[in-house]
Amino acid sequence: MSMDNIEQYKVVGPKDPVFAVAGEDVILPCFVKPSISVVDMRVEWFRPDLKDSQVHLYDDHVDKYTDQIQSYRERTKLNHQELQRGNASLKLSSVRVSDEGLYKCFIQYKSWSDDATVNVKVEAVGRPPVITVDGFDHSGGLHLQCESEGWYPEPDLEWLNSEGNSVNYRINTVEYRMNTFNYRMNTVNYSMNTVNYRMNAVNYRMNAVNYRMNTVNYRMNTVNYRWRRAAGVMVYL
Protein backbone atom coordinates (compact mmCIF):
# COMPACT_ATOMS: atom_id res chain seq x y z
CA MET A 1 0.00 0.00 0.00
CA SER A 2 1.05 3.62 -0.38
CA MET A 3 0.40 6.57 1.88
CA ASP A 4 0.58 9.83 -0.03
CA ASN A 5 0.87 12.96 2.09
CA ILE A 6 1.67 10.77 5.06
CA GLU A 7 1.78 13.72 7.44
CA GLN A 8 -2.01 14.15 7.16
CA TYR A 9 -2.75 10.88 8.96
CA LYS A 10 -3.25 10.93 12.72
CA VAL A 11 -4.01 8.30 15.32
CA VAL A 12 -7.02 9.48 17.31
CA GLY A 13 -8.40 8.30 20.65
CA PRO A 14 -11.16 9.54 22.98
CA LYS A 15 -10.75 12.87 24.74
CA ASP A 16 -12.61 11.69 27.84
CA PRO A 17 -11.84 8.68 30.04
CA VAL A 18 -13.34 5.34 29.09
CA PHE A 19 -15.37 3.91 31.99
CA ALA A 20 -15.59 0.17 32.55
CA VAL A 21 -17.28 -2.08 35.10
CA ALA A 22 -15.26 -4.93 36.60
CA GLY A 23 -16.31 -8.26 35.13
CA GLU A 24 -17.74 -6.76 31.94
CA ASP A 25 -16.21 -6.01 28.52
CA VAL A 26 -15.08 -2.62 27.25
CA ILE A 27 -13.89 -1.14 23.94
CA LEU A 28 -10.81 1.10 23.92
CA PRO A 29 -11.31 3.36 20.87
CA CYS A 30 -8.48 4.05 18.43
CA PHE A 31 -8.73 5.23 14.80
CA VAL A 32 -6.55 6.53 11.99
CA LYS A 33 -7.94 9.75 10.52
CA PRO A 34 -8.54 10.33 7.64
CA SER A 35 -9.76 6.76 7.42
CA ILE A 36 -7.32 4.35 5.78
CA SER A 37 -6.71 0.62 6.07
CA VAL A 38 -4.21 -0.39 8.75
CA VAL A 39 -4.20 -4.06 7.78
CA ASP A 40 -0.60 -3.78 6.56
CA MET A 41 0.55 -1.74 9.55
CA ARG A 42 1.87 -2.58 12.99
CA VAL A 43 -0.71 -1.97 15.72
CA GLU A 44 0.47 -2.16 19.31
CA TRP A 45 -1.45 -1.51 22.52
CA PHE A 46 0.64 -1.08 25.65
CA ARG A 47 0.63 0.31 29.19
CA PRO A 48 3.21 3.13 29.45
CA ASP A 49 3.13 2.93 33.26
CA LEU A 50 4.23 -0.73 33.40
CA LYS A 51 7.67 -2.23 32.88
CA ASP A 52 6.36 -5.21 30.90
CA SER A 53 3.89 -3.13 29.02
CA GLN A 54 2.52 -4.96 25.98
CA VAL A 55 -1.24 -5.48 26.05
CA HIS A 56 -1.78 -6.53 22.42
CA LEU A 57 0.32 -6.68 19.25
CA TYR A 58 -0.79 -7.01 15.63
CA ASP A 59 2.08 -7.27 13.15
CA ASP A 60 2.64 -8.91 9.76
CA HIS A 61 -1.13 -9.49 9.49
CA VAL A 62 -1.37 -11.63 12.64
CA ASP A 63 -1.86 -11.15 16.38
CA LYS A 64 1.24 -11.94 18.41
CA TYR A 65 1.15 -12.82 22.09
CA THR A 66 4.74 -13.74 22.97
CA ASP A 67 5.44 -10.57 24.97
CA GLN A 68 1.89 -9.90 26.13
CA ILE A 69 1.35 -9.14 29.83
CA GLN A 70 0.23 -12.38 31.44
CA SER A 71 -2.86 -10.85 33.05
CA TYR A 72 -4.21 -9.89 29.60
CA ARG A 73 -3.93 -13.37 28.07
CA GLU A 74 -7.10 -14.36 26.20
CA ARG A 75 -8.78 -11.06 27.16
CA THR A 76 -7.82 -8.80 24.21
CA LYS A 77 -9.07 -8.74 20.64
CA LEU A 78 -8.72 -6.60 17.51
CA ASN A 79 -11.45 -6.76 14.88
CA HIS A 80 -9.49 -7.56 11.72
CA GLN A 81 -12.35 -6.51 9.46
CA GLU A 82 -12.45 -3.10 11.12
CA LEU A 83 -8.71 -2.68 10.53
CA GLN A 84 -9.56 -2.18 6.86
CA ARG A 85 -11.47 0.96 7.87
CA GLY A 86 -8.71 2.36 10.05
CA ASN A 87 -10.34 1.16 13.26
CA ALA A 88 -7.74 -0.28 15.63
CA SER A 89 -9.97 -0.26 18.71
CA LEU A 90 -9.20 -2.94 21.28
CA LYS A 91 -11.81 -5.08 22.99
CA LEU A 92 -10.86 -5.90 26.58
CA SER A 93 -12.91 -8.70 28.14
CA SER A 94 -13.67 -9.50 31.79
CA VAL A 95 -12.35 -6.17 33.03
CA ARG A 96 -10.38 -6.17 36.29
CA VAL A 97 -9.72 -3.35 38.74
CA SER A 98 -6.02 -3.70 37.89
CA ASP A 99 -6.84 -2.76 34.27
CA GLU A 100 -7.37 0.86 35.31
CA GLY A 101 -4.78 3.24 33.91
CA LEU A 102 -3.36 4.74 30.71
CA TYR A 103 -3.12 2.80 27.45
CA LYS A 104 -1.23 3.73 24.28
CA CYS A 105 -2.47 2.80 20.83
CA PHE A 106 0.64 2.89 18.63
CA ILE A 107 0.37 2.45 14.84
CA GLN A 108 3.38 2.26 12.52
CA TYR A 109 3.91 1.92 8.79
CA LYS A 110 7.51 2.07 7.56
CA SER A 111 8.91 5.45 8.66
CA TRP A 112 5.52 6.82 9.75
CA SER A 113 4.09 6.30 13.22
CA ASP A 114 1.67 7.96 15.59
CA ASP A 115 -0.11 7.09 18.81
CA ALA A 116 -3.08 8.01 20.98
CA THR A 117 -3.68 7.67 24.71
CA VAL A 118 -6.77 6.10 26.27
CA ASN A 119 -7.49 6.65 29.96
CA VAL A 120 -9.42 3.71 31.43
CA LYS A 121 -11.36 4.07 34.68
CA VAL A 122 -12.68 0.91 36.32
CA GLU A 123 -15.51 0.57 38.81
CA ALA A 124 -16.31 -2.51 40.87
CA VAL A 125 -19.79 -2.69 42.38
CA GLY A 126 -19.53 -4.45 45.74
CA ARG A 127 -21.73 -7.04 47.35
CA PRO A 128 -25.06 -5.89 48.82
CA PRO A 129 -24.49 -4.69 52.40
CA VAL A 130 -25.47 -7.11 55.17
CA ILE A 131 -26.95 -5.47 58.28
CA THR A 132 -27.14 -7.31 61.61
CA VAL A 133 -28.15 -6.48 65.19
CA ASP A 134 -24.98 -6.56 67.28
CA GLY A 135 -26.52 -6.07 70.75
CA PHE A 136 -27.11 -3.10 73.09
CA ASP A 137 -24.84 -0.59 74.77
CA HIS A 138 -24.97 0.41 78.45
CA SER A 139 -27.38 3.25 77.65
CA GLY A 140 -29.88 0.95 76.00
CA GLY A 141 -28.97 1.85 72.44
CA LEU A 142 -29.32 -0.85 69.80
CA HIS A 143 -26.10 -1.64 67.92
CA LEU A 144 -26.47 -2.22 64.19
CA GLN A 145 -23.53 -3.46 62.14
CA CYS A 146 -23.21 -3.29 58.36
CA GLU A 147 -20.64 -5.14 56.26
CA SER A 148 -19.94 -4.92 52.54
CA GLU A 149 -16.98 -5.76 50.33
CA GLY A 150 -15.68 -5.56 46.78
CA TRP A 151 -16.07 -1.81 46.05
CA TYR A 152 -13.86 0.27 43.77
CA PRO A 153 -13.23 3.16 43.85
CA GLU A 154 -13.96 3.96 47.50
CA PRO A 155 -17.70 4.73 47.70
CA ASP A 156 -19.55 7.31 49.78
CA LEU A 157 -21.36 5.66 52.70
CA GLU A 158 -24.32 6.69 54.81
CA TRP A 159 -26.86 5.25 57.24
CA LEU A 160 -30.49 6.26 56.71
CA ASN A 161 -33.32 5.83 59.19
CA SER A 162 -36.93 4.95 58.37
CA GLU A 163 -37.64 8.60 57.48
CA GLY A 164 -34.75 8.65 55.04
CA ASN A 165 -32.64 10.94 57.22
CA SER A 166 -28.91 10.46 57.64
CA VAL A 167 -27.78 9.25 61.08
CA ASN A 168 -24.42 9.20 62.82
CA TYR A 169 -22.19 6.17 62.45
CA ARG A 170 -18.60 5.09 62.80
CA ILE A 171 -16.55 2.96 60.45
CA ASN A 172 -14.81 0.19 62.38
CA THR A 173 -12.79 -1.32 59.56
CA VAL A 174 -11.80 -0.26 56.06
CA GLU A 175 -9.67 -2.78 54.20
CA TYR A 176 -8.11 -2.38 50.78
CA ARG A 177 -7.65 -5.96 49.68
CA MET A 178 -7.39 -7.47 46.19
CA ASN A 179 -7.71 -3.96 44.70
CA THR A 180 -11.12 -3.33 46.31
CA PHE A 181 -12.48 -1.65 49.45
CA ASN A 182 -14.18 -3.66 52.20
CA TYR A 183 -16.16 -2.04 55.04
CA ARG A 184 -17.46 -2.77 58.52
CA MET A 185 -19.44 0.06 60.10
CA ASN A 186 -21.71 0.57 63.12
CA THR A 187 -24.51 2.84 64.26
CA VAL A 188 -26.52 2.99 67.50
CA ASN A 189 -30.29 3.45 67.63
CA TYR A 190 -31.88 4.78 70.84
CA SER A 191 -35.51 4.27 69.85
CA MET A 192 -36.88 1.07 71.39
CA ASN A 193 -39.82 0.84 69.00
CA THR A 194 -39.24 -0.02 65.35
CA VAL A 195 -35.80 0.03 63.79
CA ASN A 196 -35.78 0.51 60.03
CA TYR A 197 -32.28 1.24 58.77
CA ARG A 198 -30.48 0.91 55.52
CA MET A 199 -26.96 1.59 54.33
CA ASN A 200 -26.25 3.16 50.96
CA ALA A 201 -22.95 2.71 49.14
CA VAL A 202 -22.70 4.94 46.10
CA ASN A 203 -20.10 5.21 43.34
CA TYR A 204 -20.29 8.46 41.39
CA ARG A 205 -17.71 7.94 38.63
CA MET A 206 -20.00 6.14 36.19
CA ASN A 207 -22.63 7.93 34.12
CA ALA A 208 -25.23 5.79 35.86
CA VAL A 209 -24.93 5.90 39.66
CA ASN A 210 -24.73 2.43 41.19
CA TYR A 211 -26.54 1.73 44.45
CA ARG A 212 -26.22 -1.23 46.74
CA MET A 213 -28.45 -1.17 49.81
CA ASN A 214 -30.03 -3.42 52.36
CA THR A 215 -32.71 -2.79 54.95
CA VAL A 216 -33.07 -4.30 58.41
CA ASN A 217 -36.41 -4.21 60.25
CA TYR A 218 -36.61 -5.19 63.90
CA ARG A 219 -39.53 -4.80 66.30
CA MET A 220 -38.19 -4.87 69.82
CA ASN A 221 -40.96 -7.12 71.12
CA THR A 222 -39.77 -9.88 68.78
CA VAL A 223 -36.04 -9.57 69.51
CA ASN A 224 -35.30 -11.12 72.89
CA TYR A 225 -32.16 -10.15 74.76
CA ARG A 226 -31.53 -10.98 78.41
CA TRP A 227 -29.22 -8.90 80.54
CA ARG A 228 -28.54 -8.05 84.15
CA ARG A 229 -27.18 -4.91 85.74
CA ALA A 230 -23.99 -5.28 87.76
CA ALA A 231 -22.23 -2.30 89.35
CA GLY A 232 -23.97 0.02 86.91
CA VAL A 233 -22.69 -1.85 83.82
CA MET A 234 -24.93 -3.70 81.40
CA VAL A 235 -23.79 -7.31 81.03
CA TYR A 236 -25.13 -9.43 78.18
CA LEU A 237 -25.92 -13.10 78.59
Contacts of 121 (CB under 8 A, 6+ apart): 17, 18, 19, 20, 100, 205
- Give the single-character DSSP code of 117: E
Greater pLDDT, 12 or 225? 12
CA 92 vs CA 18, 72, 116, 157, 211: distances in Å: 12, 8, 17, 30, 25
Give the domain CATH number at 203: 2.60.40.10
Higher-scoring residue by pLDDT: 236, 88: 88
94 and 158 assigned to the same domain: no
Out of 123, 140, 172, pick the residue that ends a domain.
123
Parent domain of 207: 130-223
**pLDDT tens digits for range 46-101:** 999 988 899 999 999 999 999 999 999 999 999 999 999 999 999 999 999 999 99
Q: What is the DSSP letter of 94?
A: S
Average pLDDT over residues 14-20: 96
Q: Pick left, alpha or beta for residue 179 (phi over 0 → left; psi -120 to 50 → alpha; otherwise beta).
A: left
Residues 35 and 62 in one domain: yes
Q: Which of 58-72, 116-130, 143-157 has the lowest mean pLDDT?
A: 143-157
pLDDT score of 126 more than 70? yes
pTM of the model: 0.71
Per the model's pLDDT, the better-predicted residue between 211 and 5 turns out to be: 5
pLDDT at 157 over 60: yes
Residue ending a domain, choose from 64, 91, 123: 123
Same domain, 112 and 152: no
Q: Do residues 36 and 114 share a domain?
A: yes
Q: Is the pLDDT of residue 139 over 50?
A: yes
101-110, 127-136, 177-186: the lowest-pLDDT one = 177-186
In a domain, 232, yes or no: no
According to DSSP, residue 111 is labeled T
